[in-house]
């Protein structure tokens, strides 16, 4: 044990925790406490997850038969657009960084707060304004462009494109401000003794994510601004009818949105690194490889956007280069997965709900990663592009990767955030339902896509019906698992046992203060002397690499 | 609905070879709904199988090791076991970085080689023009004068075909699953797709770039016919004249098919992007400016030739003009067909 702050609560119950240290609605609305802001983000992203999830169930239900059932074509197109836009911009992108990142980044660094607490509050309100814009877009004339806003369709459709893109534009600023705050926090606020090699891997992941957020999001903002200018002022930038180039929009859009994929998944990697080490009582295997592979992914992610344009008519040379660079991202990703599996070796694995999600992640993310390979392979992508194969692939990465990691992280840190333990048996049932439901829903879609089922069809050839029905039933199981999870977690807030400060015996700093933490996190500034994964169970006498 | 869209012309056109495999995309393979009907499709299937074998081994291997560790290193019932101090292993990490890299390079190179074949049409390829619009495909054969088909592509076996494609409105994508090919169809520029069909049959053609309300209805048919029958089949398909024993209404039904009208206009009363033909004739409709119009011969004719002239309230301009594509006799037959949809 080499971390200084090991004693449990040197001053138990001297100070009230952050939830009750100040009271009243106003104390929440104007709080600059990163933990309260994290909880407010958590509530917001969960609300949007629920909304977008209900839309997903509506889509799957419409697809139960090949014909049009209960939604008109226009309604279906709006529902899939909103499902995507809400999930991406209001749920997944802020989910791990803004909710769990806000809460745990300063705690894991041994800091009192983020570097700019007021900026953090502003960032939350900017996000809220963005959400209002998107909701107004839904309630006025809807949005039917798909979440990608491809021109010239988005320039010519009659729906609320300007309101919605303005919402996404504003959400981008929230993302930039949060990213900036985190980068500075990691550079300047680390506890004494915490050098870069002693940072928890979750911090490394959030740091890499924050760098991408700061560098890539402005490009999306510019792109959407150009789209708004084209629509409102009639200046031809993307619309060929006005002398523009529609494919240019795709280049701009994916220059942001491909790195955004890593904004979504890198924080999930960080969570998995924490969960697997803590619950197997093992030092992470290949700390440097995992930390640096996050950085490598962040860098390479900026030069792979062209794989979204393999069939757009871009030059063959560009296609070949982007295909090669896309394969290059696969290498650091594979290194991470192998390192997680190797971490299990020689461990003493405790199977609680968080670890169940960790193990489920290794399955779902590996499927998501491997099925990225045929999409990187130029000739195969020509067949699979814009079919259900792509839908299945990115749901395996976004849901099977990010969301599974997010829910796992929520269970891992729930005792710290809320001060309550949830029912482990209920948790495992929830995880099982989510895992089965998810795989039934999306595994089927790989086959559908390979058989030629295109994306974004509300009616389809009857040959595809059986597979669509299996997928729909899977989505109901998945929804049931998620609802069940919501119920027992809410139940634990009132009826759960009080959580000890360090229920899993973890070494990182967030567990070295009481649950829930006090407003200023630590009674005394912690000092760090060693690795964040130096567990007491590790058999030092056995030798090994240090 | 889509189903009937696909099989109706097949029934109407007796010229199709008897070996027609039935409703696309049904296949003769027990493993797939998807037939492989071009040289490219066969080459890609080999690559695809290679990928699955490779990834299958990788996946089973990784999950197998994970499952073994999960079982082997489960914590004892009470307390914790001593755990391994292992933190890294340079040699192992090098190996597991190098092996995926090696296979990635193979997949990349193989995919690149096949891709270059996909995008390089032979010089002797036959030219076809494709125009995408909301929501149908117009297919024109330069060598048959005035031949303009909707959603039907005729292709001879064993002869390379080169499609030069563009769009008049938004981006569409021309997807031929049986040939494992697709290419975006972009307004303001030409894109090219080529293939050589190897197996006679009827295969689907679909739009794979979201293009609005009836994106799902932008489904057509590829008729692959033996070379010796091709000219006759194409000539017959291009011909749009009333048969001697054919009623105006039946001829009108063929005109409707040729125009691709069904992607927006139903005959069962369901309102899609355009009004349903059912009970349309003789109806009084309100226009956007509040004036009313009776749907009669003149109004229908005007709407076909100048869709923008009088748009009924609740609809928007989505229809392309058919001026120059349908002659007076064809329009008359179309009106007779609409009249008959009571």
CA distance A439 to chain B (A): 15
Question: Is residue A241 domain-resident?
Answer: yes
Whether pLDDT at B3 is above 50: no
Which of B218, B239, B260 represents a domain boundary (last residue)?
Answer: B239
R_g of chain B, CA atoms, integer Å = 27
State which H helix or E strand residue A404 sits in: helix A404-418
* Model pLDDT, residue B208: 95
CB contacts of B217 in chain A (<8 Å) are 459
Task: Kindly report, residue by residue over B204-235, the tens digit of the pLDDT.
Answer: 899 999 999 889 989 888 999 999 999 999 98
As a whole number, mean pLDDT of residues A105-110 equals 95
Give the integer Cα–Cα distance in Å for A510 and A106.
Answer: 9
Instruction: Assess A75–B contact: CB distance below 8 Å, yes or no.
Output: no
DSSP state of B225: E
Q: Are A264 and A93 in contact (CB under 8 A)?
A: yes
Query: Which domain CATH number covers A406?
Result: 1.20.210.10
Stretch (H or E) spanning A510: none
Give the CATH number, domain containing residue B166.
Answer: 2.60.40.420
- Do B88 and A545 make contact, defined as CB atoms within 8 angstroms? yes
Mean predicted confidence (pLDDT) in A428-453 = 95
Q: Give the 3-state secondary structure of residue B211.
A: coil
Q: Tell me the CATH number at B314.
A: 1.10.760.10
> Alpha carbon B151 to chain centroid distance?
8
pLDDT tens digit sequence for A77-103: 999 999 999 999 999 999 999 999 999
The pLDDT-based confidence of B182 (bands split at 50, 70, 90) is very high
Tokens standing for residue B259: 């125009």
Lateral strand order in the sheet of B126-133: B148-150, B136-140, B126-133, B161-167, B191-195
Same-domain status, B208 and B264: no
Q: Which two tokens stand for residue B307?
A: 């869709």
Q: Does B93 touch chain A (CB under 8 A)?
A: yes
| pLDDT tens column, B296-330 | 888 888 888 888 888 888 887 778 788 877 888 88
Average pLDDT on B10-19 reads 33
Round the average pLDDT of chain A to a whole number and report it.
91
Residue A446 CA to residue A438 CA, distance in Å, equals 13
One domain, residues B140 and B220: yes
Query: Would you tell me which residues 296-315 of chain A have a C-beta closer than 8 angstroms to some C-beta of chain B?
Result: 311-313
Q: Are A545 and B89 in contact (CB under 8 A)?
A: yes
- The reply to whether A71 falls in a domain is yes
- Residue A142 φ/ψ region, left for φ over 0, alpha for ψ in the -120 to 50 degree band, beta for the rest: left
B171: in domain: yes
B187, B41: one domain: yes
Q: Which domain holds residue B209?
A: 1-76+121-239
- Residue B310: C-alpha distances to residues B289, B293, B295, B297, B317 (Å): 9, 9, 11, 14, 10
DSSP string, B103-125: HHHHHHHHHHHHHHHHT---TTP
Whether pLDDT at A426 is above 50 = yes
Residues B30 and B69 reside in one and the same domain: yes
CB contact (8 A) between residue A327 and residue B65:
no
Lowest mean pLDDT among A182-191, B21-30, B333-342: B21-30
In a domain, B41, yes or no: yes
Residue A362 forms contact with B (CB below 8 Å): yes
- Say whether both B3 and B141 belong to one domain: yes
B20, pLDDT greater than 80: no
CB atoms within 10 A of CB A411: 24
Average pLDDT rounded to a whole number, residues A525-535: 91
Closest CA to A266 of A177, A334, A204: A204
Interface check for B81 against chain A (CB to CB < 8 A): the answer is yes
For residue B142, the model assigns a pLDDT of 86
In a domain, A188, yes or no: yes
Statement: residue A423 has pLDDT above 90: yes
Q: Which of B197, B212, B239 is the last residue of a domain?
A: B239
Label residue B14 by pLDDT band (50, 70, 90).
very low
Domain total of chain A: 1
SS (H, E, C) A282-336: CCCCCHHHHHHHHHHHHHHHHHCHHHHHCCCCCCHHHHHHHHHHHHHHHHHHHHH
Q: Is the pLDDT of residue A484 over 80?
A: yes
A162-220 confidence digits (pLDDT tens): 898 899 999 999 999 999 999 999 999 999 999 999 999 999 999 999 999 999 899 88
Of A73, A152, A157, the CB nearest to B187: A152
How many domains are there within chain B? 2
Is residue B153 in a domain? yes
CA distances from B37 to A243, B175, B178, B201 (A): 39, 14, 5, 8
Predicted pLDDT of residue B32: 57
**How many A×B Cβ pairs under 8 Å?**
301
- Domain assignment of residue A329, given as a range: 33-533
Chain B contact set for A347 (CB, 8 A): 69, 73, 83-84
Residue B88 has pLDDT above 70, yes or no: yes
Give yes or no: residues B194 and B59 share one domain.
yes
Q: Which H/E stretch holds residue A144?
A: none
Quick check: is B87 in a domain? no
Does residue B85 lie in a domain region?
Answer: no
Whether residues B292 and B195 fall in one domain: no
The rounded distance, in Å, linking the Cα atoms of A311 and B157 is 25
| Residue B158 in domain | yes
pLDDT in tens, A33-49: 999 999 999 999 999 99
What is the structure's pLDDT at A544? 52
Cα separation of A86 and A275, whole Å?
Answer: 28
Clarify whether residues B323 and B258 are in a common domain: yes
Token pair 């803004």: residue:
A98
CA distance B213 to chain A (A): 5
B-chain CB neighbours of A153 within 8 Å are 170-171, 210-212
User: Is residue A13 in some structural domain?
Assistant: no
Residues 242-281, chain B, touching A (beta carbon < 8 A): 270, 272-273
Q: What is the model's pTM?
A: 0.90
| pLDDT digits 0-9 by tens, A138-154 | 888 888 899 998 988 88
| Angstrom distance (rounded) from CA B38 to CA A446 | 22
Together in a domain, B129 and B34: yes
B267 in the same domain as B186: no
SS3 content of chain B, % helix, strand, coil (to 5): 40, 20, 40
Q: Does B171 touch chain A (CB under 8 A)?
A: yes
The answer as to whether B103 is a domain residue is no
- Cα distance between residue A376 and residue A348, in whole Å: 38
**A99 in a structural domain:** yes
Q: How confident is the model at residue B9 (pLDDT cuts 50, 70, 90)?
A: very low
Beta-carbon contacts of A308 under 8 Å, excluding residues fewer than 6 positions away, are A250, A254, A257, A258
B49 in A contact zone (CB under 8 Å): no
A516: number of Cβ within 10 Å: 23
Among all residues of chain A, which has the CA nearest to that of B55? A370
Q: What is the rounded distance in angstroms from the CA atom of residue A516 to the CA atom of residue A419?
A: 5
Q: Distance of CA B59 to CAs A50, A265, A339, A364, B111, Å?
A: 32, 20, 15, 11, 21
Cβ-based neighbours of B53, under 8 Å, separated by 6 or more:
none
Q: Are residues B149 and B50 in the same domain?
A: yes
d(CA B340, CA A467): 39
Residue B224 belongs to a domain:
yes
HSE-up (13 A, CA, CB side) for residue A205: 28
């Amino acid at each position: 044990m080499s971390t200084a702050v090991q004693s449990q609560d040197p001053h138990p119950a001297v100070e009230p925790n952050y939830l009750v240290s100040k009271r009243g609605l106003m104390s929440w609305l104007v709080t600059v406490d990163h933990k309260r802001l994290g909880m407010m983000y958590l509530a917001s992203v969960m609300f949007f997850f629920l909304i977008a999830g209900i839309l997903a169930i509506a889509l799957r239900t419409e697809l139960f038969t090949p014909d049009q059932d209960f939604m008109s074509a226009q309604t279906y197109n709006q529902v899939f657009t909103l499902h995507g836009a809400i999930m991406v911009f209001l749920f997944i992108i802020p989910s791990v960084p803004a909710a769990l990142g806000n809460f745990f980044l300063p705690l894991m660094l041994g800091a009192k707060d983020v570097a700019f607490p007021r900026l953090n509050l502003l960032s939350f309100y900017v996000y809220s304004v963005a959400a209002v814009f998107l909701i107004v877009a839904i309630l006025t004339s809807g949005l039917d462009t798909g979440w990608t806003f491809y021109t010239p369709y988005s320039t010519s459709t009659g729906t609320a494109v300007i309101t919605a893109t303005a919402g996404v534009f504003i959400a981008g600023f929230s993302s930039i401000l949060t990213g900036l705050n985190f980068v500075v926090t990691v550079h300047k606020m680390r506890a004494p003794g915490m050098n870069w090699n002693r940072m928890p891997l979750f911090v490394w992941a959030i740091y890499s994510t924050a760098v991408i957020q700061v560098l890539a999001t402005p490009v999306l903002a510019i792109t959407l601004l150009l789209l708004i200018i084209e629509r409102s002022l009639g200046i031809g930038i993307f619309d060929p009818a006005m002398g523009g180039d529609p494919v240019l929009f795709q280049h701009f859009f994916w220059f942001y949105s491909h790195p955004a994929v890593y904004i979504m998944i890198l924080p999930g990697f960080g969570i998995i690194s924490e969960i697997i080490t803590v619950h197997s009582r093992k030092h992470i295997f290949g700390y440097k490889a995992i930390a640096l592979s996050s950085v490598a992914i962040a860098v390479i992610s900026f030069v792979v956007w062209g794989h979204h344009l393999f069939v757009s008519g871009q030059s063959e040379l560009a296609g070949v280069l982007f295909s090669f660079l896309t394969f290059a991202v696969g290498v650091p990703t594979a290194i991470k997965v192998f390192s997680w599996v190797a971490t299990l070796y020689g461990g003493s694995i405790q199977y609680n709900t968080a670890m169940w999600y960790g193990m489920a992640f290794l399955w779902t993310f590996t499927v998501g990663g491997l099925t990225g390979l045929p999409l990187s392979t130029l000739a195969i992508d020509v067949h699979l592009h814009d079919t259900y194969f792509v839908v299945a692939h990115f749901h395996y990465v976004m849901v099977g990767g990010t969301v599974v990691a997010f829910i796992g992280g929520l269970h891992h840190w729930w005792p710290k955030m809320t001060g309550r333990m949830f029912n482990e048996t209920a948790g495992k049932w929830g995880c099982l339902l989510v895992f089965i439901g998810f795989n039934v829903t999306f595994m089927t879609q790989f086959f559908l896509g390979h058989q030629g089922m295109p994306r974004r069809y509300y009616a389809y050839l009857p040959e595809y019906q059986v597979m669509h029905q299996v997928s729909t039933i899977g989505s109901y199981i998945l929804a049931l698992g998620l609802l069940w999870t919501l119920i027992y977690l809410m139940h634990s807030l009132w009826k759960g046992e009080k959580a000890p400060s360090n229920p899993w015996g973890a070494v990182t700093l967030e567990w070295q203060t009481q649950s829930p933490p006090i407003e200023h996190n630590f009674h005394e500034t912690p000092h760090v002397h060693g690795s964040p994964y130096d567990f007491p169970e590790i058999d030092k006498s056995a030798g090994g690499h240090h | 609905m889509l189903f009937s869209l696909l099989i109706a012309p097949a029934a109407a056109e007796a010229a199709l070879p008897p070996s027609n495999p039935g409703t696309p995309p049904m296949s003769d393979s027990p493993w797939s709904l998807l037939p492989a009907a071009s040289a490219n499709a066969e080459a890609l299937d080999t690559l695809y199988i290679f990928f699955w074998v490779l990834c299958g081994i990788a996946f089973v291997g990784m999950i197998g090791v994970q499952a073994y560790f999960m079982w082997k290193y489960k914590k004892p019932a009470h307390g914790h076991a001593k755990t391994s101090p292992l933190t890294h292993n340079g040699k192992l990490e090098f190996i597991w970085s190098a092996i995926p890299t090696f296979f990635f390079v193979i997949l990349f190179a193989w995919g690149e080689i096949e891709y270059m074949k996909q995008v390089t049409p032979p010089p002797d390829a036959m030219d076809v023009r494709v125009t995408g619009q909301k929501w149908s495909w117009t297919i024109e054969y330069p060598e048959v004068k005035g031949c303009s088909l909707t959603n039907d592509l005729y292709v001879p076996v064993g002869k390379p075909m080169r499609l030069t494609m563009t769009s008049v409105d938004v981006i569409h994508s021309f997807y031929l699953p049986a040939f494992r090919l697709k290419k975006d169809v972009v307004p303001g520029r030409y894109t090219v797709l080529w293939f050589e069909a190897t197996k006679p049959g009827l295969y689907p053609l679909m739009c794979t770039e979201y293009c609005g309300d009836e994106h799902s209805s932008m489904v057509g048919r590829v008729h692959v016919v033996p070379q010796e029958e091709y000219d006759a089949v194409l000539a017959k398909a291009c011909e749009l004249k009333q048969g001697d024993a054919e009623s105006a209404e039946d001829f009108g039904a063929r005109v409707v098919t040729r125009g691709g009208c069904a992607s927006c206009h139903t005959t069962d009363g369901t309102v899609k992007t355009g009004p349903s033909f059912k009970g349309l004739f003789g109806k009084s409709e309100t226009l956007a400016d509040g004036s009313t119009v009776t749907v009669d011969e003149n109004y229908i004719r005007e709407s076909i030739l100048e869709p923008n002239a009088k748009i009924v309230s609740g609809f928007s301009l989505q229809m392309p003009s058919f001026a120059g594509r349908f002659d007076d006799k064809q329009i008359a037959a179309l009106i007779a067909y609409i009249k008959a949809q009571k």
